[in-house]
Amino acid sequence: REDLFYRLNVIEINVPPLSERGDDALALVQHFLPNREISLTGKQAITQYPLPGNVRELENACRRVDILHPHGPLNADAFGLPSSHSEDTVLVKAGSEPTEAEIQAALVRYNGVIAQVAKHVGLSRQALYRRLDKYKISYKS
């Protein structure tokens, strides 16, 4: 409703996305997990991950990691976010086609969840399904 927009639009505040404020993301993680130690790879994963869901996505990741990893320092793998230092991270360059090996590695990493695999290799789900058929990769559970 346009009239509601004009009622609420008294002052416009532009806040950059959390992905552009890496230090803020770390401060939020320390707020959500006050008594937990975060490793260097964990911090790098948090600051480098785009966080499309902003604070809600970060808070949910913190809740998940606190439940699934109650002891020890938290690394990139604990958060489930890709890290540039993680050995099993598949890196697909922008504009290049993912190879059969990259797709297979992503399928293993994300337990066959097609939406996550597609996002990771930089394809739409439909394009990923076509590549899976092309390479004759089994993806059905």
Mean pLDDT of the chain: 83
Q: Which residue has the higher pLDDT, 110 or 96?
A: 110
Count Cβ atoms within 10 A of the Cβ of residue 32 and give its class: 0-12 exposed, 13-18 middle, 19 or more buried.
middle
Q: pLDDT category, 95, cuts 50, 70, 90?
A: low
Q: What mean pLDDT do residues 11-27 have?
A: 85
d(C-alpha 21, C-alpha 135), whole Å: 40
pLDDT value, residue 52: 78
Q: What mean pLDDT do residues 129-136 have?
A: 92
Q: What mean pLDDT do residues 96-107 have?
A: 84
pLDDT value, residue 81: 66
Decide yes or no: CATH 1.10.238 for domain 90-141.
no
Per domain, the residue ranges of the chain are 1-83, 90-141
Decide yes or no: CATH 3.90.550.60 for domain 1-83.
no
pLDDT value, residue 37: 92
Q: What would the DSSP string read from start to end of 20-61?
A: G-HHHHHHHHHHHSTT--B-HHHHHHHHHS--TTHHHHHHHH
* Structure confidence by residue, pLDDT tens digits, 44-91: 888 888 887 789 988 998 999 999 888 888 888 888 765 444 444 444
Q: pLDDT category, 130, cuts 50, 70, 90?
A: very high
pLDDT value, residue 79: 83
